[in-house]
Amino acid sequence: MLEYALFENHLTSDPNDFMAVVQNQQSRSQEDVIDQMISRGSTVTKAEAFSVLEEYAIALVQLAQEGYAVNTPLFNLSPSIKGVFNGDEEAFNPARHTVKINVTPGTRLKEAASQIVVKRVQGASPQPDPLYLDDLGSGTRNEQLTPGNIAQLKGSRLKFDTADPQQGIFLIAADNAETKVVTISRNKPAQVDFLIPQLATGNYRLEVRAVLFAGQEARSGTLPAELNVIPEESSQPS
């Protein structure tokens, strides 16, 4: 079953336009495919299946390398060339041109797509996703905060509007007192670099608050680690 959730489509100007986003999708490997074959009572052993599929893959790769298009009931593949040629006499230049392999579903996969059962579920709205923080003052990751030093926060959907007081990086103490980071040197979706403000000794959690789509409220994401500010004399190497 294919689960999906509906989200507002920000690529159009119509506020009533929504788009389906697949949810909770899992992946399967070639070994899982072979296990599925064997579970149906196939007389082919797992080792034989691996061997046949490897030979099949080698043949497909060889045909593609020879420039052939290959059409099968499962998929169709064809080589193509990408890049701009300066004039009708310019030769292929690997520095400016590349060969791509285009793959499209074949007749059996197209038929399978029409038979997939779908189910609408409640989707989780996207939010900032901080993964880890490198404290350059102590050389630690997801452990310490060294006031007055630079920290590098990595993750996804981290970028925020520095002019909006509701957005930014917030360091929250055990008593829920918040300190907002003021000095930002890099503000990108995957990385934010900032100057760690002066903080009292203790434990802190880090939250990123950002408006991901225009017209919406700020969403928050929390670093999955508690950060510790230790007394200044304890942070110095012995």
CATH of the domain at 27: 4.10.520.10
pLDDT one-digit tens code per residue, 13-63? 787 888 888 888 788 889 999 999 999 888 889 999 999 999 999 999 999
Same domain? For 217 and 108 the reply is: no
pLDDT at 35: 93
Q: Of the candidates 120, 147, 164, which is a domain's last residue? A: 120
- Number of domains present in the structure of the chain: 2
pLDDT at 231: 72
Same domain? For 50 and 90 the reply is: yes
111 SS3 class: helix
Cα–Cα distance, 235 to 233 (Å, whole number):
5
Same domain? For 51 and 87 the reply is: yes
Q: Of the candidates 75, 94, 120, which is a domain's last residue? A: 120
34: phi then psi, degrees, rounded to nearest 5: -65, -40
Q: What one-letter code names the amino acid at 61?
A: V
pLDDT at 237: 47
Same domain? For 99 and 139 the reply is: no
pLDDT at 234: 46
Same domain? For 152 and 179 the reply is: yes
Same domain? For 199 and 136 the reply is: yes
Same domain? For 27 and 50 the reply is: yes
Same domain? For 115 and 67 the reply is: yes
Cβ neighbours of 161 (radius 10 Å):
13
Same domain? For 149 and 105 the reply is: no
Q: Which residues of the chain have pLDDT under 50?
A: 234-238
Same domain? For 66 and 107 the reply is: yes
- The whole model's pTM is what? 0.53
CATH number of the domain where residue 186 is located: 2.70.50.70
* Residue span of the structural domain in which 142 resides: 129-235
Q: Please report, for residues 3, 60, 74, 130, 178, the alpha-carbon distance to residue 69 in angstroms, rounded to integers and kept in the order given.
A: 34, 10, 14, 44, 61
Same domain? For 110 and 137 the reply is: no
Q: Of the candidates 120, 150, 181, which is a domain's last residue? A: 120
Same domain? For 133 and 229 the reply is: yes
Cα–Cα distance, 169 to 172 (Å, whole number):
10
